[in-house]
Amino acid sequence: MLYYSTNRKSPDVTLRDAVVRGLAPDRGLYMPRTIKTLPKVFFENIDRMSLQELSYIVADAFFGDDIPADDLRTIVYDTLSFPIPAVRVEENIFSLELFHGPTLAFKDVGARFMARLLGWFNRNGNRLVNVLVATSGDTGSAVANGFLGVDGVHVYVLYPKGKVSPIQECQFTTLGRNITAVEVDGVFDDCQTLVKNAFMDEGLASHMNITSANSINVARFLPQSFYYFGAYAQLKAIGKADNLVICVPSGNFGNITAGLFGWKMGLPVKHFIAANNANDIFYNYLKTGAYNPKPSVQTLANAMDVGNPSNFARVLDLYNGSHADISSNIGGATYTDAQISETLKEVYDRTGYLMDPHGTCGYRALKEQLEPGQTGVFLETAHPAKFKEKVDAITGGDVVIPERLQAFMRGTKQSVPVGRDYSGFRDFLMSQKG
Ligand SMILES: *Cc1c(COP(=O)(O)O)cnc(C)c1O
């Protein structure tokens, strides 16, 4: 399969090049040349398949030309080593719990898949691949854990000193093995600048092979389509799959774009909803047809604090830029922190189901927009314990931190301190094995 750039000013590339480059040279996002429609019989039998089985079939449609079946099956099965259950919250509303992976958030799926794919590309082990990733918290933990122990790949996680939460910090500083945490004496933007400098440094490139694990990478976002099929399968099994509405708490719009790919492949979804926090750029686009990026504002659902969603270009491309088509297929919603708190608490008190602030936006949009006869699924993108202080303050409760999160907190922190100027970081990388 070849991949083209949404800006159409760069040549098509192979899967390998799309994954290693991340962004196209013309700064567009890579898209697969064809999106295959899955056969009717797949959807007829889907409720009798496991998540791993059905995901392999979806993966084959994207990656089957590039990766031999047995290897692709191994990659998919290893990626999805945890369940993704659709849990009933009330009569017609289900929560697709994407937090059962190692770092308790949906980004585990894409990060684990990408790690295994890069490991496969490098299976003959001629040269190590080094992944540089700058993080303000969550991406670093998903990428580091996704790549942990993958042969032929070394990960450097750059994070701003004192600016990530203690829980987040342990998730990438205690791992050891092929993961190195780099503690930057600066802010997140300094981390990003160091990574950008490294990518432009030809001297460094001749010493080591470097790549990014940014969320716009095709190997991170396409695998997120798997669990949309998984949700459908679970609802079909209980006779609730007709008139399905899927609501996605959205920031950079990678997650919902993967769902739209699923729909293009034939997944019977009536309608999608993108739920925003106060960062309402997409919501306003739906209403007005004008796309006006603006600086992000901080909210309770901070992983969605995005003022210029990077995957908007992919959404536009999927619909040939038609605002009419986009707004007829995707609904919008935007919620203030007060509304998020109120809904999180109301649902917890009424049903006993505890959501995180991101999933709460998804729930509320379904509650407001579902029509009679429809079933709604919202993506519960993280475990509420990841936001323990905020969630406890809202409910007055005490969320239990799952054992796998506590385990990180018992580990020993190890990191390499660097300054915010490039020379120190460069010296460090040049001293590492290439
Ligand atoms: C990253 C993230 C989101 C936003 O996902 P996008 O793909 O950027 O739209 C939502 N919730 C949580 C918990 C996240 O970590």
Residue 191, amino acid:
C
pLDDT of the residue at 128: 83
Six-digit token string for 66: 């590039």
pLDDT of the residue at 214: 80
pLDDT tens digits along 276-317: 999 999 999 999 999 999 988 989 998 899 899 989 999 999
pLDDT of the residue at 421: 96
Pocket test for ligand 1, best of 168, 358, 386, 388 (most atoms within 8 A of CB): 358
For residue 397, the 8-state DSSP code is S
Per the CB < 8 A criterion, the answer to whether 159 and 184 are in contact is yes
Q: Is the pLDDT of residue 408 over 90?
A: no
Nearest CA to 246 out of 347, 353, 379, 340 is that of 379
Compute the average pLDDT of residues 114-127: 87
pLDDT tens digits along 151-200: 889 999 999 999 888 888 999 999 999 999 999 999 888 998 899 899 88
Six-digit token string for 413: 């922190």
| Residue with CA closest to ligand 1 atom 8 | 252
Q: Is the pLDDT of residue 122 over 90?
A: no
Q: Is the pLDDT of residue 404 over 90?
A: no
pLDDT of the residue at 160: 93
Q: Determine what percent of the chain is predicted with pLDDT higher than 90.
A: 84
Span from the CA of 426 to the centroid of ligand 1 (angstroms) = 31
All structural domains of the chain, each given as residue ranges with its CATH number in brackets, are: 83-104+221-399 (3.40.50.1100)
User: Which stretch of 82-96, 150-164, 242-256 has the lowest confidence by average pLDDT?
Assistant: 150-164
Six-digit token string for 122: 């490098």
Alpha carbons within 13 A on the beta-carbon side of 124: 1
Compute the average pLDDT of residues 79-88: 98
Q: Determine what percent of the chain is predicted with pLDDT higher than 70.
A: 100
Whole-angstrom Cα distance, residue 79 to residue 105?
14
**250 CB under 6 A from ligand 1?**
yes
Pocket test for ligand 1, best of 167, 252, 315 (most atoms within 8 A of CB): 252
Q: Is the pLDDT of residue 320 over 90?
A: yes
Nearest CA to 197 out of 426, 428, 430, 26 is that of 426
Compute the average pLDDT of residues 246-264: 97
Q: Is the pLDDT of residue 126 over 80?
A: no
Compute the average pLDDT of residues 120-141: 86
Compute the average pLDDT of residues 47-56: 98
Span from the CA of 381 to the centroid of ligand 1 (angstroms) = 7
Per the CB < 8 A criterion, the answer to whether 301 and 358 are in contact is yes
Phi-psi region of 375 (alpha: psi -120 to 50; beta: other; left: phi over 0): beta
Banded model confidence at residue 405, pLDDT cuts 50, 70, 90: confident
Atom of ligand 1 nearest to the CA of 356: 13
pLDDT tens digits along 321-354: 999 999 999 999 999 999 999 999 999 999 999 9
What's the chain's average pLDDT? 95
Banded model confidence at residue 215, pLDDT cuts 50, 70, 90: confident
CA dist list (Å): 313 to 26, 317, 352:
13, 6, 39
3-state helix, strand, coil in the chain (%, to 5): 45, 15, 35
**251 CB under 6 A from ligand 1?**
yes
Nearest CA to 63 out of 78, 52, 75 is that of 75
Q: Is the pLDDT of residue 35 over 80?
A: yes
Nearest CA to 356 out of 388, 330, 396, 332 is that of 388
**253 CB under 6 A from ligand 1?**
yes
Q: Is the pLDDT of residue 125 over 80?
A: no
